[in-house]
Structures are given as C-alpha cells and as structure tokens.
Structure 1
Amino acid sequence: APQRVVDLRSDTVTQPSAAMRAAMARAPVGDDDYGEDPTVNELQQLAVRILGTEDALFVPTATMANLIAVMCHCQRRGAQLLLGAQAHLHVYEHGGAAQVAGIHSQALPDLPDGTLDLGQLELTIREAHGSRYHPRPELICLENTHSSAGGRVLPLTYLQQVRLLAERYGLRVHMDGARLMNAAVAQDVEPAHIAQHCDSVTLCFSKGLGAPAGAVLAGRRAFVAEAWRVRKLLGGGMRQAGVLAAAARIGLEQAEETLRRDHDNARRFAQGVRELNSPLCSVSLEAVETNIVMVEVKGLSPAELCVYLQAVSEEELAETGCTVSVLLFPWSEHTVRAVWHCDVSAHDTELALNKLGFVARKCQEKLAQGRGSSPRSTGGH
C-alpha cells in the first residue's frame, strides 16, 4: 500500500486549493503600491467588513504586520511594549521591535490559558506611569488565539478589561490575531466582536485559512495610512499582489466552514489520545479549544516520539494493514504539538491516532522487555 503522510507540524504547511489556484490565475491586478490593484483593494475592503475596522492593509506576512503595528503605535524610541513572555511577537519574530523599531519589550508571565494576570499588568503599567526612571509604556500586545498556550482563545471579558486598563493609562492595544478567525469560530462570534477591543489587529491568511502567503493589518484610517509608509520602509510594497490576495480572499470567505472542521478533528484526536490511556502520552481536553493539540510525553523525549511517528516499518504494515508517516512538532521538553488544517481530513486524523496508538504500544512492549524505548523500524523516514 502507498505510504500516507499526515503533516500536523503546523497550519502553515497547507497547499493552495484548486479554487485558490484558479482565482490566482485569473485575478485582475494592478500596481498595489499606487493603490491600483483591484484584487488587493477588494480583499482589504472584505477584511474591513469582517473585522469592523475603518481600514486595512495587505502585507506579505503577519510578522511584518505586527512590526508595522508596533512602529506605528510606538513612535518614540525606547517606548515600552507590554506582552506575554511566550508571545509569538516576543519569541519568534527575531526581536524586530528592538532590532528595527528601537522599542523596549517588557515580557510578563503568560497564564496557562494564554492571558496575562491583569493585576500584574496594571502594577507594571502603574510603576512606570509618570516615573522618569522607567521606560514609557505605550502599547499592550495580545495574541489570539495564543499559539504557545495550545491555541487558547482569549475570553471577550478579558479583552474588555485589558482595553479599559489601557484607556485608563493612555496605552494602545494591538492584537496579533494571526489565528483570529479560529478564535471567532470557537467563540461563535463575529470577528468584529473580538477586534472591537483593540486599536489594531493582525490577521494571517497563510495559517488555517490555507492561502500561500499574506496577512492584513487593520485599524483606524489614520493608523493604516501610517502603516502604508512603514510597510514601504520594511520592503513590503508588493506591486501586482492581487495574485496573492485572490487566494487570501477565498481562504477568508471559506474560513468558518474550514476552521469548524479543523476544530472538530483536533478535538476528536485529543479525545482519542485520552482513550488510548497510554502512560506515554496524555492530553488536557479542557485546553483544546481550537485547532492545536499539545500532547504531553512521558518515558521518552518529544523528539524521539516524533521520529517514531514519522518512521514506517514492515511491522506496522503487518499489524495495522497500512503505513502512515505522521509529522508532529517537538514543542518543549515534555510536549509535542499537533496542528489541524484544511489538508488534514477526519480520515487522516484517525490514521494519525492509530499510528500514535501503534507507537505507544511498541514503546510499552520494549520498556516492559527492558530493551529501551525504541520500536523497531525497518523502513526509512
């Protein structure tokens, strides 16, 4: 039987759908730097309607969108940005806020649900407020859904409280909403209900929405006018960008249906891991709110587990009737991450679960026999 690959490393690995490729091929285009690309303009207007903002700007990546937002909100060098210590903007964007914008980041501990402790946030702001010895806090950045917390959705009441706190001290709020549509689907609200609590919001098209590239930065008209200038500065003016915007638009229009399915598959997988009842791997079901599942690993390292899940063997074929290579991401010291997206079906989800069951069983047998923890693999990766 041909080998099946189920790629759960990230929702960034998707292939553009046939509909996206067709739309890209026939998209009317113009020079977007002159504001003349009709497909980009349509996408920006669609984003405005969905997010409930005054204006929106198409940019190459969500990382660039976040950096533009920081540079627009914090125009004084050495201003302070408050965010979670595990925030994507803080950990995975190469310190652009410091390197490029000259902004000082104050990282606060993230709670397990992806929120910040509001008391601690206020204390940090209050200490610096009006003090000539502290950097001036100007911006709070939130991430929704929160990737490192396992795709957790920020509660609407929490967003409201952060907003009130920011207003009290004259700060602005930016939301890294790379997976904002996942949050909206999980909470069963319009994305605008989430975005209304922020001064600006990033939305990524190349994750769960399945487009090959692109993001949007949305906010007030004056903010987006300034964002255009910063996009130019950072090299993000893309001329005939309608070929990318066309795919992004399809992803945005189909988001609800796609993401609902992804969330269902992720939850099914998490329940399946719990039903395996294996001492090697466990999942907290309460923490699975969207398309990300964090699996806690015991008895072997996350990297080893990923190697075993990727490898195929004669033994697997003999026992299960098929060979499946499952790709996961070794996330932390005791955790592997699995992320659902439009290229992973319900059937793929079952195959991944069966493979995890097979690997867990083999590891248990080897441990019981005292031969270490490696299932014998005769095939390649």
Structure 2
Amino acid sequence: MISHVLPTYNRAALSFERGEGSWAIATDGTRYLDLGSGIAVNVLGHANPALVDALTAQAGRIWHVSNLYQIPEQERLASLLVDRTFADTVFFTNSGTEAAELAIKMVRKYWDHAGDPDRIEILTFEGAFHGRSTGAIAASGAEKMVKGFGPLMPGFRHLPWGDIDALEAAVTDRTAAVMIEPVQGEGGIRPLPDQDLRRIREICDRTGTLLVLDEVQCGMGRTGRLFAHEYAGITPDIMMVAKGIGGGFPVGAVLATEAAAAGMVAGTHGSTYGGNPLACAVGARVMDIVADEAFLAEVNRKGALFRQKLEGLIAAHPGVFEGVRGQGLMLGLKCRVSPADLVKACYAQHILTVPAGDNTLRLLPPLNIEDAEISEAVERLDRAASSLA
C-alpha cells in the first residue's frame, strides 16, 4: 500500500523537530551535528535569529501579492544581487530546478530573438545535476534520472567532465550555450580548475556562445567566494542560483546580462510565487550577511581548518577514505567504501552527511559553523570510519 507521501525518497528513519545553529534536534531529543545543511541550503544554520527576525517582520506585513504588482522586497534583493555580480537583471523562482528551466528558456529565446532560431543545442557535462524537471534531466542525461521519462527534451549534448578539448571540438554554428557547474555537487564535489573555466569563457566569446553557470549548490559563499566562478576571474552570461540564497526559505533566481535576457519580454515567463515578499525579505538578509567580505574570509579560514583535520582523518583510515576535495566549506571525502554505508555509520555517531556521485561523501556544514564544532565533526567522522573498518 502506497504511503501518503509519494515514496520517491529512501528516507532515513529520522525526524527533526527543531534546530539550533549547526545542530538538528530529533523528535526524541537527540542532537545531530548537521554537516549537510539540508543539502547546502542552511548557510547560516538552523533558526538563525537574523533570518527569523526578517521572516517574522515580513510575515506581519504582507505575504503574497503575485508578480502582477511591483514587490519592493523583490526589488531590494534583485538590487543586492546586481550590485554584487555580473548581472543586469534577475528573475526569482522557487527552486533551483525552476531556475534551470528558465535558464534553458532564456538561451533558446536569446537566439530566436537574434534571428537564429535553429541555434538551440546546449552543451552539458557528465556528472552534472541541474534539477529534476524534464528539461533539467535532459540537460544532465544521466541514466538514473532519465530512465522511464522519455521522450526527453531535445537539444542537449553531453560531454566528458573536464574535457575542454572535447568541448571546443563540439561547438558548432548550432551551439546555443555551454551549461556547467563550477563545482559539481551531486557529481561528487568536483571543482573545475580555474584555467578550464577561463578557457570555456574564451571559447564562448570566440564562437558567440552563451555561458550558463549553475551555482545552485556552489554559490552563496559556499566555496569562500560569493560565487565560485569568481576564483577564475570570469563572468557568465546567465547564472542559476538557489539553495543557500534563502537560508532555508525556498527561493531561487536566474541572473543575466541585459544582452542575454534580451528576448525575455513581457509574457515570455512567469511565476505565481516566485519572488514573493516572504522569500525576498529572507534572501535580502542572507545577502547582507553572506556577501560581507569578512564573513567570506571566515568561510575560507574554516574551510582550510576543516580540510586540514580531514587530511588527518584520511591518513588514519586509508581503507575507508581515498582523499578530500572541494573548496571552502563545500568538501567531499572520496571513499573506498560505499558512501551510503558511511552515511548510516554517521547517523550512529549523531552526525548528518550527504552522499554524492563518484563514491563521495559530501560535507556541507553551515557557513557559520564554529571551530569547536569542526573538531567535534571530525571526531565523530573518525568514530564512524572506525565502525566500518
């Protein structure tokens, strides 16, 4: 007999009733150190007072009016994003998947508007994850996501991860855009080297191809910069953002240059809930905190501390771990054992982690995790690894 909640997740037998900073408290009172942050969402931890204040203050004023009207909170958050990034304009969504759908539409509309409607092919990469909608799974092409959901949206070509020569060879006069994550999340915390991202930008510039970056998971301070592509010193034409931008409140966004968004005129896209006052009030407060250079410097310092301690953990358990990779507080432990088994072992040590592709365990703690909590996390990971060994 099917459950009342559609069983599309293999959920752990854990329920949480409240949270405090880096800790999630289960219904039985057990405290779990949260190194998953709701899959890179809770960038400022659970029940952050600043975000609670922003949400409750807005809730006492107005919740929803729809995009038929101007929304001051939306305009403020859009201005914060434009002032801090390459973008000239922003459209707000409810999720990263919705952001991916709009990014795909924006690319196609750009070329139609430019008088070249046959230029529709979008180049993507093995291991990519852009969401679960039909357009997003077609972009990823992974069998585990597309099997049984055909026919898929046409117009995507999938290339080997990190093979920039293959990318250059694949670009034709029908190539509309390159879509890529600067750091793959679901694919196993795989950062793209800065020189590769710079070369992709050069190829796009030379061929007139749009560059679309998916920073849904690696953006919003996760890597120690507000957005991961900043390390390479390049900018995209279109960028998808979500997860951390709402600090736990559902909100996403597509950022674009004026040129890339030229085809998106009135009536070409819409959202009933996207950019509602509640979401944007919280998002603006997140931006106020996370975009601060001193805050980002702390993310880098804590990321280096965490990585140093993880190197010692790997040395102590060579049969369990192969290495660590990532940037800032977006870290992955490449495993010699099943990441799913390690996640379960972590539950026994009251610690929350997230599995990923390429046999990797994701560590995505709140960006304001304390040094003592990092030490505690590594001690618990050590006990979990010992139980498997």
Specify the TM-score bucket, using the shorter chain as the normaliser: 0.7 to 0.9
8 and 230 in structure 1: CA distance in 2 versus 1, 3 angstrom threshold: farther
Post-superposition shift, 1:264? 3.6
Paired position in structure 1 for 2:317: 278
DSSP-derived class of the 1:288 partner: strand
2:48 to 17, 40, 48: 17
Partners of 1:199 and 1:239 lie apart in 2 by: 21
Deviations 1:184-214 (A, max 9, x none): 734x99987879632212222x327624121
Alpha-carbon contact 2:86-2:236 (below 8 Å) kept:
no
149 and 360 in structure 1: CA distance in 2 versus 1, 3 angstrom threshold: closer
Paired position in structure 1 for 2:126: 85
Post-superposition shift, 1:145? 3.3
Deviations 1:266-309 (A, max 9, x none): 43333223223222333535x332222222333x4322222122
225 and 21 in structure 1: CA distance in 2 versus 1, 3 angstrom threshold: farther
Alpha-carbon contact 1:144-1:183 (below 8 Å) kept:
no
Partners of 1:154 and 1:182 lie apart in 2 by: 18
Post-superposition shift, 1:259? 4.7
DSSP-derived class of the 2:356 partner: strand
Post-superposition shift, 1:96? 1.4
Alpha-carbon contact 1:70-1:101 (below 8 Å) kept:
no
Paired position in structure 2 for 1:238: 273
283 and 212 in structure 1: CA distance in 2 versus 1, 3 angstrom threshold: farther
2:224 to 185, 190, 204: 185
DSSP-derived class of the 1:161 partner: helix
Post-superposition shift, 1:168? 2.7
Post-superposition shift, 1:227? 7.2
Post-superposition shift, 1:345? 2.9
Post-superposition shift, 1:352? 1.8
73 and 34 in structure 1: CA distance in 2 versus 1, 3 angstrom threshold: same
Alpha-carbon contact 1:211-1:251 (below 8 Å) kept:
no
Post-superposition shift, 1:362? 4.1
Alpha-carbon contact 2:251-2:279 (below 8 Å) kept:
yes
Q: Is 1:328 equivalent to 2:353 in the alignment?
A: yes
Alpha-carbon contact 1:295-1:337 (below 8 Å) kept:
yes
2:343 to 299, 306, 326: 306
143 and 137 in structure 1: CA distance in 2 versus 1, 3 angstrom threshold: same
Letter in structure 2 aligned against 1:330: P
Alpha-carbon contact 2:127-2:357 (below 8 Å) kept:
no
Post-superposition shift, 1:52? 3.1
Letter in structure 1 aligned against 2:90: A
User: For 1:180-329, what aligned pairs fall within 5 Å after superposition?
Assistant: 180-182=219-221, 185-186=224-225, 197-204=235-242, 206-207=243-244, 210-221=247-258, 223=261, 226=264, 229-232=267-270, 236-238=271-273, 241-255=276-290, 256=292, 257-276=294-313, 277-282=316-321, 284-285=323-324, 287-298=325-336, 300-311=337-348, 324-329=349-354
Partners of 1:345 and 1:177 lie apart in 2 by: 25
User: What stretches of structure 1 move > 6 A for 4+ residues in a row?
Assistant: 188-195
1:340 to 340, 345, 365: 365
Deviations 1:321-341 (A, max 9, x none): xxx401222324633221122
User: Which stretch has the larger CA shift, 213-222 or 43-52?
Assistant: 213-222
Alpha-carbon contact 2:299-2:368 (below 8 Å) kept:
no
Partners of 2:318 and 2:234 lie apart in 1 by: 44
228 and 102 in structure 1: CA distance in 2 versus 1, 3 angstrom threshold: farther
Alpha-carbon contact 1:266-1:291 (below 8 Å) kept:
yes
Post-superposition shift, 1:63? 1.8
> Which blocks of at least 5 consecutive residues in structure 2 are unaligned?
1-28, 110-116, 139-149
Letter in structure 2 aligned against 1:289: Q
Partners of 2:339 and 2:227 lie apart in 1 by: 35
1:8 to 35, 38, 41: 35
TM-score by length of 2: 0.73
Partners of 1:153 and 1:86 lie apart in 2 by: 12
65 and 344 in structure 1: CA distance in 2 versus 1, 3 angstrom threshold: same
DSSP-derived class of the 1:53 partner: coil
Partners of 1:306 and 1:293 lie apart in 2 by: 15
Paired position in structure 1 for 2:177: 139
348 and 227 in structure 1: CA distance in 2 versus 1, 3 angstrom threshold: farther
TM-score by length of 1: 0.74
Letter in structure 2 aligned against 1:7: D
Deviations 1:128-160 (A, max 9, x none): 43xxxxxx32111121333235162652x5444
The structure with more radius of gyration: 1
Post-superposition shift, 1:6? 1.2
Q: Is 1:165 equivalent to 2:211 in the alignment?
A: no
DSSP-derived class of the 2:250 partner: coil
2:156 to 82, 97, 105: 105
2:81 to 47, 50, 67: 47
Q: RMSD of aligned C-alpha atoms?
A: 3.3
Alpha-carbon contact 1:58-1:214 (below 8 Å) kept:
yes
230 and 343 in structure 1: CA distance in 2 versus 1, 3 angstrom threshold: farther
Partners of 2:126 and 2:57 lie apart in 1 by: 43
103 and 338 in structure 1: CA distance in 2 versus 1, 3 angstrom threshold: same
224 and 177 in structure 1: CA distance in 2 versus 1, 3 angstrom threshold: farther
Partners of 1:231 and 1:173 lie apart in 2 by: 20
> Which blocks of at least 5 consecutive residues in structure 1 are unaligned?
112-116, 130-135, 312-323, 365-381
